Amino acid sequence: MKRFCANTLLILATPITGLLAGLGAVGFHYLADTLGENLFAWGETHRAMTRLPFVLAIPTVGLALVGAFLQWMPESRLGGVAEVLDSLEVAQGVIPLRRIVNVILSGLVLAFGGSVGPEGPMVQMGALFGSVVGQRFGIAKRHLQTLVRAGAAAGIAAAFRSPAGGVLLTLELFGVRFNQDLTAVGVAAAIGYLTRTALLGDAYPFRPPGTIDALPLATLLLVVPVMGLLAAPAGHLFIWMFNRFKTVFPRGWPLTLRVAFGGFLVGAVAIWFPQVLSAGYPVIDHGLHGGITFELFVTLLLLKMLATSITFGSGAVGGLFAPTLVIGAMYGGAFGYGLQRIVPTAVPQPELFVLLGMVVMFGSIVKGYWSGLLMIADMSGCYHQLLLPGVIAGGISFFLSWELHDRSIFGLTLDPAGRTESDEADAASTGETKGSAPAKSRHVG
For residue 48, give the CATH number of its domain. 1.10.3080.10
As a whole number of angstroms, the distance between CA 375 and CA 324 comes to 13
Of residues 355, 375, 21, 320, the one with CA closest to residue 165: 375
> Within a domain: residue 436?
no
Q: Which of 136, 170, 200 is the last residue of a domain?
A: 200
Please say if the pLDDT value at position 103 is more than 70: yes
* The pLDDT of residue 97: 87
Please say if the pLDDT value at position 43 is more than 60: no
* The pLDDT of residue 87: 82
- 234 and 179 in a single domain? The answer is no
> C-alpha angle 283/105/253, rounded to 5°?
100
Domain of residue 29: give its range. Answer: 2-200
- 264 and 407 in a single domain? The answer is yes
pLDDT band at 425 (very low <50, low <70, confident <90, very high): very low
Of residues 251, 302, 276, the one with CA closest to residue 420: 251
Q: When comparing pLDDT for 84 and 434, which is higher?
A: 84
Confirm if 106 and 126 have CB atoms less than 8 A apart. no
pLDDT band at 412 (very low <50, low <70, confident <90, very high): low
Please say if the pLDDT value at position 2 is more than 60: no
- Segment 196-202 mean pLDDT: 86
Query: Residue 2 burial by CB count (10 A; 0-12/13-18/19+): exposed, middle or buried?
Result: exposed
Please say if the pLDDT value at position 77 is more than 70: yes
- Segment 53-59 mean pLDDT: 83
- Segment 67-82 mean pLDDT: 83
Strand partners, 182: none
Please say if the pLDDT value at position 436 is more than 60: no
* The pLDDT of residue 143: 84
Terminal alpha carbon distance of the chain: 40
DSSP 108-172: HHHHTT-S-BSHHHHHHHHHHHHHHHHHHHT--HHHHHHHHHHHHHHHHHHHHT-HHHHHHHHHH
- Segment 166-186 mean pLDDT: 82
Of residues 90, 124, 86, 89, the one with CA closest to residue 105: 124
pLDDT, tens digit, 9 for 90 and up, residues 385-396: 999 999 999 999
As a whole number of angstroms, the distance between CA 319 and CA 280 comes to 12
- 264 and 360 in a single domain? The answer is yes
Contacts of 203 (CB under 8 A, 6+ apart): 161, 197
Please say if the pLDDT value at position 341 is more than 70: yes
Please say if the pLDDT value at position 1 is more than 70: no
Confirm if 80 and 443 have CB atoms less than 8 A apart. yes
Q: What is the pTM of this model?
A: 0.87
- 229 and 360 in a single domain? The answer is yes
- 146 and 187 in a single domain? The answer is yes
> Within a domain: residue 104?
yes
As a whole number of angstroms, the distance between CA 195 and CA 401 comes to 35
For residue 369, the tally of other CB atoms under 10 A from its CB is: 23
Confirm if 303 and 271 have CB atoms less than 8 A apart. no
> Within a domain: residue 210?
no
Contacts of 11 (CB under 8 A, 6+ apart): 184
> Within a domain: residue 206?
no
pLDDT band at 400 (very low <50, low <70, confident <90, very high): very high
> Within a domain: residue 283?
yes
405: left (phi over 0), alpha (psi -120 to 50) or beta: beta
- 180 and 246 in a single domain? The answer is no
- 35 and 64 in a single domain? The answer is yes
Q: Which of 166, 200, 234 is the last residue of a domain?
A: 200
> Within a domain: residue 241?
yes
Alpha-carbon 57 to chain mean position = 25
Q: In Å, how far are 9, 304, 306, 327 from 238, measured between CA atoms? A: 44, 9, 8, 9
> Within a domain: residue 419?
no
Lowest mean pLDDT among 130-139, 200-209, 221-230: 200-209
> Within a domain: residue 400?
yes
- 74 and 181 in a single domain? The answer is yes
Q: When comparing pLDDT for 173 and 67, which is higher?
A: 67
As a whole number of angstroms, the distance between CA 40 and CA 353 comes to 30
When divided into structural domains, the chain yields a total of 2
- 391 and 282 in a single domain? The answer is yes
Q: When comparing pLDDT for 347 and 303, which is higher?
A: 303
